[in-house]
Amino acid sequence: MKGDKGPGGADGDRRPRNPYPLPGQNPDPREDDSPPDSSPPPASEMRPPPIPGMPPSKGAPPEAPPGFPAGGRSVRSGAMVWLMFLGPFVVAMLVIFSWAGHRIYGAGEDDGDGVAARPPDSPRPEPISTVPPKVKGWDAVTSAKYGMSYDVPSSWRILPSTVLIGWEAAHGQDRSMMSTAAVFREDVCKDGDDEYTRAHTGFNQYVEGGLTGVAEHAAKKWAANAYTSEGDPAPSIALKAPESVKAGRKKGVHVQADVVMKATGRCVPPTAVVHTVAVPGVGPGKTTVFILLADQGVPDAAPKAAIKKILGSLRPS
The domain locations on the chain are: 92-316
Cα→Cα distances 250→146, 246, 253, 254, 278, Å: 13, 6, 10, 12, 10
Do the beta carbons of residue 252 and residue 211 sit within 8 Å?
yes
Average pLDDT for the chain: 74
Ranges of beta strands (E only) in 31-107 are: 103-107
DSSP class of residue 60 equals P
* 222 backbone φψ class: left, alpha, beta (φ>0; ψ -120 to 50): alpha
> What is the band of 170 on the pLDDT scale with cuts at 50, 70, 90?
low
Of 23-37, 158-172, 260-274, least confident by mean pLDDT is 23-37
| pLDDT tens digits, one per residue of 85-135 | 444 444 344 333 333 344 544 444 444 554 333 333 444 444 445 689 999
According to CATH, what is the number of the domain 92-316? Answer: 3.40.1000.10
DSSP state string for 119-131: PPPPP-PPPPP-P
Asked if residue 24 has pLDDT above 90, the reply is no
307/274 Cα distance (integer angstroms): 10
Do the beta carbons of residue 117 and residue 282 sit within 8 Å?
no
Residues in the chain: 317
On the CB side of 241, CA atoms within 13 Å amount to 2
User: Using only C-alpha atoms, what is the Rg of the chain?
Assistant: 37
Return the pLDDT at 82: 38
Q: Which residues of 150-175 are buried (b: 16+ CB within 10 A; e: fewer)?
A: bbbbeebebbebbbbbbbbbbeeeeb
